[in-house]
Amino acid sequence: MSKLRITLEAARVNRGLTQPSAAEKIGVSVQTLINWEKGRTAPTVDYALKLCEVYGVTMDDLIFLNSEANLIGNKL
């Protein structure tokens, strides 16, 4: 049985975080977080790991929307 993968936005909302509060916990600007959620840019591996920590998910749980911009999402 395959596991459901979720978007960055869904992971954030499931954790009860707003964009400003999540950005602060991760250590990036709100605009950076928005760009990740919209698939305009992708987090580095270090930030992706921080996202997983803050959102309480694994890398396998996440979908990174724009695979061309994504440094790590092609394997997810």
Q: Which amino acid is at 11?
A: A
pTM as predicted = 0.78
d(CA 30, CA 21): 9
**56, exposed or middle or buried, with CB in 10 Å at 0-12, 13-18, 19+?**
exposed
Domains annotated on the chain, with CATH:
6-75 (1.10.260.40)
Express each pLDDT in 19-60 by its tens digit.
Answer: 999 999 999 999 999 999 998 999 999 999 999 999 999 988
Kindly provide the residue ranges of all beta strands, DSSP E only, lying in 1-76, ordered along the sequence.
6-7, 62-63
Whether pLDDT at 61 is above 90: no
